[in-house]
Structure 1
Amino acid sequence: MRDPNVFDGKCPTRVVLDRVGDKWAVLILLLLASEPLRFNELRRRIDGISQKMLSQTLKSLERDGLVGRKAFATVPVTVEYSITELGRTLYSAVDSLRLWAETHLADVVAAQQRYDGTEGLSQAA
């Protein structure tokens, strides 16, 4: 296998970056880092995620080895998700992004407002 080159469109690292850059994947990893959770608990805690999107994202994270799934023999079957050791290695980077976003939110909003204000003027000219 050749050395990874993230700028090459065929490089498998793109798949990993797509997963890491997905907002739903990030939110799921952030929640599972503190405790294992069941599907419906994840859905309740992540505002705006659909059942279908949560299911798809969990399957992708499980396939990538970032999340583990444990089924319990109950009626109906209870399924619990947890972060894996590999997922924990990613968690610190993801949590750093969360902290950056929280710290710089006001700066980003101010920049957007400045841009939107000047963008409207330049388009009118």
Structure 2
Amino acid sequence: MGKECGKSKTVHAKKCAVTRALEVIGGKWRLPIIWELSAQESMRYNELRRHLDGITNIMLTRALQGLEKNGLVQRVELERIPPHVEYSLTESCKQLLPALEIINEWGKSRMLDAGCEETGSDKNLIHTDIK
């Protein structure tokens, strides 16, 4: 077996890779942000905010900062007139997309099982054109 995290041999310590991954991508908005960015090469802040129903400016800013800090999102300042910032997924984050597609399919089947129909707020979570 490979190198274990921590000194404890408890179940939690054995699953530390999963725990670490969830610390990086966990939270209400991080996965929806990644999912939205996966549909395009890059997005501007306000464009991204429009695609995420219910997110506040503060929450979007914090989530993007966390994703950038963990190397999942790249922030690029473009020197245009007017200047603006675009966000895109890093190569590291793109490795996560197949797992998100599986979660998406699982979520769609759960929605169908529950008799849910696709609504405006669900549409941004059910695209299938991942790059």
TM over 0.5: yes
Higher fraction of helix: 1
Q: Distance in 2 between matches of 1:96 and 1:78?
A: 34
Mapping for residues 109-124 of structure 1, pairs under 5 Å: none
CA deviation after TM superposition for structure 1 residue 107, in Å:
3.1
Q: Distance in 1 between matches of 2:85 and 2:47?
A: 11
CA deviation after TM superposition for structure 1 residue 15, in Å:
4.0
How many residue pairs get aligned? The number is 109
Aligned partner of residue 48 in structure 1, secondary structure: coil
Q: Does 1:28 align with 2:29?
A: no
Stretch moving more, 83-92 or 99-108: 99-108
Mapping for residues 1-125 of structure 1, pairs under 5 Å: 3-4=4-5, 7-8=12-13, 14-35=19-40, 36-74=42-80, 76-107=82-113
Aligned partner of residue 16 in structure 1, secondary structure: helix
Q: Once the two structures are aligned, what percentage of the paired residues are identical?
A: 35
Q: Distance in 2 between matches of 1:56 and 1:32?
A: 16
Q: 5+ unaligned residues in a row in structure 1: which ranges? A: 111-125
Q: Which has the higher contact order (CA 8 A, sep 6+)?
A: 2
- Residue identity in the other structure for 2:28: K
Aligned partner of residue 69 in structure 1, secondary structure: strand
Aligned partner of residue 12 in structure 2, secondary structure: coil
TM-score, normalization: structure 1?
Answer: 0.73
Higher CA-based Rg: 1
CA deviation after TM superposition for structure 1 residue 95, in Å:
2.2
Q: 4+ residue stretches of structure 1 with deviation over 2 A? A: 11-16, 18-23, 74-77, 106-110
TM-score, normalization: structure 2?
Answer: 0.70
Q: CA offsets per residue over residues 70-122 of structure 1, 9 Å max, x none? A: 00123553000001100100111122112211111243579xxxxxxxxxxxx
Contact 1:6/1:14 (8 A) holds in 2: no
Q: Distance in 1 between matches of 2:28 and 2:98?
A: 16
Aligned partner of residue 87 in structure 2, secondary structure: strand
Match of 2:126 in 1: none
